[in-house]
Structure 1
Amino acid sequence: MRIRTTVAAVSGAVVLSGLALPTAQAADSHKGHTKITKVVVNGGKDIVVGTADKKITMTVTGTDPKGIKDGFAALWYGKKLDWGRLDGMLGPAKEPRCTKIDAKSATCRIVTVAHPRGLKNSTAGTWNVVAGLLGKGRAENHVIKEKYKTVRVQRATRLTVNASPEPVKKGEAVTVSGALTRADWESRTYAAYTGQPVKLQFKAEGTSAYTTLKTLKTDAKGQLKTTVKASVDGSFRYVFGGSAASPAVTAAGDFVDVR
Structure 2
Amino acid sequence: MHRRMPVASVMAAVAIGITVAPAAHAEGRGDIRVVKTVVNGGNSVIVGVKAPKQFPITMTIKDNSGVKGVTDVSAFTTKGGHGPVDHLGTTCRKTSSTTSVCTATMRIDPTWIDDYGRGNEGWDANAVAGTWQVNATVKANDSSYWISDRIALFKVKRAATLTTDATPEPVRKGGTLTVTGKLSRANWTDLKYHAFTKQVVKLQYKKPGGRYSTVKTATTDGKGHLRATVKATASGSWRWAFLGTTTTMKVVATGDAVTVK
> C-alpha distance in 1, partners of 2:59/2:84?
18
Measured after TM superposition, the shift of residue 27 of structure 1 is 4.8
SS in 1 for 2:197: coil
Instruction: Name the CA shift for 1:31/1:212 in 2 (closer, same or farther; >3 Å).
Output: same
Structure with larger Rg:
1
Tell me which of 205, 222, 229 is aligned to 1:227.
Answer: 229
Task: Find the counterpart in structure 2 of residue 93 from structure 1.
Answer: 88
- Alignment gaps of 5+ in structure 1: 1-6, 15-25, 80-84
- The residue aligned with 2:40 is 42
2:62 equivalent in structure 1: 63
For 2:87, what is the secondary structure of its paired residue? coil
- Give the aligned partner of residue 214 of structure 2: 212
SS in 1 for 2:127: helix
Correspondent of 1:165 among 163, 168, 171: 168
- The aligned amino acid for 2:106 is T
Which amino acid is the alignment partner of residue 101 of structure 1?
T
Amino acid at match of 1:97: T
Tell me what 2:77 maps to.
Answer: 77
Which deviations, in whole Å up to 9, do the C-alpha atoms of 1:65-105 show, x marking residues without a partner?
Answer: 221112132211145xxxxx7323424123x2222222222
Aligned to 1:257: 259
Partner of 1:131: 136
Choose 124-133 or 159-168, whichever is displaced more. Answer: 124-133
Q: Which amino acid aligns with 2:67?
A: I
Q: Is the CA contact 2:77–2:130 (under 8 Å) kept in the aligned structure 1?
A: no
| 1:87 counterpart SS class | coil
- 2:6 partner letter: G
Relative to the length of structure 1, the TM-score reads 0.83
Equivalent residue number for residue 120 of structure 2: none
Amino acid at match of 1:124: A
Deviations, residues 195-248 of structure 1 (Å, cap 9, x unaligned): 11001111233x512232211011111111122222211111111111111121
Deviation at 1:13, TM superposition (A): 5.5
Taking the aligned partners of 1:238 and 1:228, their CA distance within structure 2 comes to: 13
Runs ≥4 residues deviating over 4 A: none
Q: Is the 8 A contact 2:165 2:180 kept in 1?
A: yes
Query: 1:89–1:147: structure 2 CA closer, same or farther, 3 Å change rule?
Result: farther
Question: Higher RCO, 1 or 2 (CA under 8 Å, sep at least 6)?
Answer: 2
TM-score by length of 2: 0.82
Instruction: Please tell me the root mean square deviation across aligned C-alpha atoms, in Å.
Output: 2.1
Asked if 2 retains the 8 angstrom alpha-carbon contact of 1:60 and 1:132, the reply is no
Give the alignment partner of residue 127 of structure 2, picking from 107, 122, 137. 122
Give the % identical residues: 36
